[in-house]
Amino acid sequence: MFKFSPCLFILLFFSFFVQAQPSTAEEINKLEKETLDLENQLKSIAEDLEVLRLDKIREDIHAIGLPINKEGTEHQLVEHGAIILSYNEKHEQSNWVSHVIVPAVNKGNLARTNDFRKDSLVKTGSAVKADYWYSGYDRGHLAPSADFRWSPRAISESYVYSNMSPQRPELNREIWAKLESFIRKHVWVSNEQLIVVTGPVLDDNLETITQGPNVLSIPKRYYKVVLDNQGDEKKAIAFIMPNEMCKKSIVSYATTVDEVEKLTGIDFFSNLNDDMEDKLESTFNFGKWEELKEGEIPTQEPLKLNQRPKNTLNSVEADLFLDKKACVCGMVVSTRKTSSGSVFFNFDTKFPNHTFSGSIWADNVKNFTYEPEVEFLGKKICVTGKITEYKGKPTMNLEHEKKVSFIGENGKELPK
């Protein structure tokens, strides 16, 4: 008769237990599949969020009232995902373009697409590349692409020619760009959206560009109208700039919304109640828009291993690799642009207690399609280059935006 052995039972149990345990490779495959599923879910959520934000933008623009052109103005209403515009076929550009800068722009890291193209939604046909090419004028964005760095669809839409107007390079690349950054920075400080309406001042006596298939009017002036209708303290401000080199400070071109209405004949924010409209459009306080003189946010902890890409250093580790090429990552807590045009920034801790700093000399700022002192602030970034020493602390000089990558909350590099 067979006798059951306790030893045999233990051996059989152990053998079954070992076989029942998943191998290391199986565990890796399982976790990789879960990670992929999560990434797909996050991608799907991001796409849904983009659609909802675009819907909300158009709702908010309509809620305060689309700008009303003066009687007799050529007008074709065109609605894209993130911008609504009034196209003027006679001048081959928009009377105005309305858009919203949402707080999501503070975390957006999308680069310029440069996919300039004819606006297929303009029934009479918009301007085209040949109208601008070698004309001496820039294809000046009315709604700037950097305001849409959070949305692939919106940033691409900003390159339709209905959103362009012929601007002198000395305006478009200088104070006009600074004005756009100034307005975006207010969104960073307040964490509240702004409604912006931008356009050329059009009349029948403008010079034209006639080299292409269309005749483009060359505006002598441009305007921006900005409305903050969030929170308890609502406010508005406007700017009028000539289409030329502007040597004065931004505040010199600030004015009331009423003044822009008198100049253009356009009625802005027509759905606001009369008392609110009169209050917001008749006065402005520039000081309330200039809350952040120099970029700063609170001190941050150096990034841990799981907060940055592999084979990178944090700000504290950087001094171990002096005179060597490396990739250093951190949160940019302060930025400064000098009068000469150079940009300086610090990781994790502000000057003079910083552990790592970076610089972009004025000659190299042109190699960036965005303003580093604005777009770096409050972002986790990685910079690649040779680590040197300045006054006993590690630093790095950047020559091109290709040496910079932005990273997300999961520590991974964000798509460019």
Amino acid, res. 286: F
Full residue range of the structural domain in which residue 338 is found:
305-406
Contacts of 335 (CB under 8 A, 6+ apart): 294, 295, 343, 344, 345, 346, 372, 373, 374, 376, 377
pTM flag (> 0.75): no
Q: Same domain for 70 and 96?
A: yes
Query: Which residue from 348, 400, 346 is spatially nearest to 373, judged by alpha carbons?
Result: 346
Q: Looking at residue 124, which CATH number applies to its domain?
A: 3.40.570.10
pLDDT of residue 152: 93
Q: What's the number of domains the chain is made of?
A: 2
pLDDT of residue 1: 52
On whether residue 3 sits in a domain, the answer given is no
On whether residue 321 sits in a domain, the answer given is yes
pLDDT of residue 294: 46
The DSSP string of 122-144 is -TT----HHHHTTSS-EEEESS-
Q: Same domain for 234 and 152?
A: yes
Q: Same domain for 200 and 330?
A: no
Residue bearing tokens 């940033």: 155
pLDDT in tens for each of the 416 residues of the chain? 555 566 655 655 555 555 556 788 888 888 888 888 888 888 888 889 999 999 999 999 999 999 999 999 999 999 999 999 999 999 999 999 999 999 998 777 777 888 999 999 999 999 999 999 999 999 999 999 999 989 999 999 999 999 999 999 999 988 999 899 889 988 877 889 999 999 999 999 999 999 999 999 999 999 999 999 987 789 999 999 999 999 998 999 999 999 999 999 999 999 998 888 889 999 999 888 875 444 566 778 899 998 999 999 999 999 999 999 999 999 998 898 888 889 999 999 888 888 899 999 999 999 998 889 888 888 899 999 999 998 889 999 999 999 999 987 777 876 65
Amino acid, res. 177: A
**DSSP 8-state code for residue 30:** H
CA gap 142, 197 in Å, rounded: 9
Burial classification of residue 315, based on how many CB atoms lie within 10 Å of its CB (0-12 exposed, 13-18 middle, 19 or more buried)? buried
Q: Same domain for 209 and 250?
A: yes
In this structure, what token pair is assigned to residue 109?
């890291």
Note whether 347 and 355 are within 8 A (CB): yes
Q: Same domain for 329 and 358?
A: yes
